[in-house]
Structure 1
Amino acid sequence: MFPGATADPSAPAYTVVGAPLDVSTSFRPGARFGPERVRRFAGTFEDYDRATDQSFSTLDIADHGDVHAWNDPAEYCDYLASVCREIDRDGAVPLTIGGEHTVSLGPIRALEPDVVVVCDAHLDLRTEYDGDPWSHSTVTRHALDVADEAVILGARSGSEAEWVRADESDVTVVEPDAVGAWTPPGDYAMRDVYLSVDVDAADPAYAPGTGTPEPYGLTSRELRDVVRAVAPHASGFDVVEVNDRDDGQSATLAAKLLRDFVFAHADATAGADTDVDADGSLDGDDSS
C-alpha cells in the first residue's frame, strides 16, 4: 500500500494503481519493480505538507494495488483503461505508477483528455521501435489518437522523424532550458488535462534508476514546479519508468511527485469548492 493511502476503497478521492508492465524496455529493464519501489521509498516522507497545510493521510487516497502485467501491451493497456475507467466513474482521480511508459495509455484512454502534458527526456513520437508499434517510445504518438494536443516538457532526444512530427500543430515541445519559465496556458482551466511524468525527464543526477537515462535534464525542483502547476487542471496523473538500477533516488523522486500532485490537486479542489482561492484563478473551477 502507498504510505498514507488510508481511504475506504469504496469512496476515495484518489486511487493509486500500480502498472508493472516491462516488455519493451530498450536498454535497462526493471520497470516492473517500479510500483513496489515507489511505494517503499514513499515511506520516509512526513505526512504533512507545509506548502498547502494538508496531511496526505487525510486526503481520501486509496491503493488499488498492482494490475498484474503480461506480455501483450495492447491488451494490457485496454485492461488498465477499464480499471481506470471504473476509478473515474466512482469519482476518484487515478494515480498510476509504472512500469514502462506504455502504461500511460491506460488512464489516458479511460479519461480521454483534451491535452496530455508529458514530462519526458524523449519525444516518444515513433510509430514503432525495432518493429514494435507498442514500444514505450511510441506512447505520445498513441496518446494523440485520444487527445487533441500533446505538450512535451524536457524533451532532448528523438529521431529526425520524431522532431519533424513534433513540428506539427498538435505538439508543443518545451526543451529543458525553457521548462523553468513554462506555465500552464490559461485555457487549461476550461480543458481536460492529463499529466504524465517519465522519471527520465529528470537529469540522471537526480534519477539514475530508469530505463533510458539522458543527460542535461530537469532538476527535481523543476519537475515539482511543473507537477504542482498542472495538477489543479488535471483529471489524472502517472509517474513511470522507475526501475531498480539505483539506490532509490528515482523511486524517491517519483513518490514525492505523486504526493505533490495530490497536495496541489486537493488544495485547488478545496479552493474551487469554497470560492476562496487566493488569486481567484481557480474560483469555480470544477473541471477536475
Structure 2
Amino acid sequence: MGKLDGRVVLVTGAARGQGEQEARLFVAEGARVVLTDVLDDQGGALAKELGDDNALYRRLDVRREDDWTAAVAAAKERFGKIDGLVNNAGILRFNELTATPLEEFQLITQINQVGAFLGIRTVAPEIEAAGGGTIVNTASYTAVTGMAYVGAYAASKHAVLGLTRVAAVELASKGIRVNALCPGAIDTPMTNPAALDPDADPRAGREAMAGLYRKLIPLGRAGEPEEVARLALFLSCADSSYITGQPFVIDGGWLAGVNLS
C-alpha cells in the first residue's frame, strides 16, 4: 500500500524541479495528481508519462483566480474530489533591495505570495468537502532568516509562512492540516539558470556554486529535488497526522550556523 492511496493532490509548478519530483513521488505512493504549471509542453509530457489514470495536466497561472477555478473543476471532473494541495510554484530573482524595480517586486509577490493565498482560498473548501486533507506551502530558508540580494523573494516567503500559520489555525476544525516547506539551496532550474539556457552547460553553474556550498552548508552540497519531495510526502500523509502550522527547514544544516574550519 502507498502512503497516499485514494488521495487526489493538486501540485502547482509541477512541470519541473521540486514540483515534478513531488508529482512523481505522490503517484508512486498511490495518489492521483493534478499537475499544473504554465509550461504546457513539459507538464503535458509528464502527465502522459505518469498515465491518464494517475495524472491530469491543466494550465494554471497561480496569479489568476479563473485559472484556479478551472483547474479545480477539471480535477473534480476527472477524479471526483481534491483532498491535497502543494503550493509549489514560485520564482526567484537576485537584486539589491534598493535597486529592485517595483515591477519585479510585484511580480514575485503575485506569484509566490498571492499564488499561495489563492490556492488556499480556492482549494481548502474542496478539501473540507472531501472530508479533510492537507496543504503544503513552499516557503524557503529565507522565510525564517534574511539573505542579501533576495529581498523581494524573502519578503514573499515570510508572507507564505504567515499564511501557513493562519490557515493552520483557521482550517484545523475542518480537518485540514497546513504546513510549510523551507528549502535551502536545491539543485533546480530556479537556482541554476544555466539549466534553462540551451546554449549553456548546466554543469558549469553547478560547479561554480559547489565550492560556495561546501563552505556554507554543513552537509557540503546542494539538496536534490527528490529530497524535498520526500518531505512534502511526509507532510501530506498520515505520518505527520499531529503536525500543523509548522515550517520545516530542509537546508543541509545551512541555518544551523557557519563552520569556520
TM, length-normalised to structure 1? 0.37
Specify which structure has the bigger relative contact order, considering alpha-carbon pairs within 8 angstroms and separated by 6 or more residues.
Answer: 1
TM, length-normalised to structure 2? 0.40
| Structure with more helix by fraction | 2
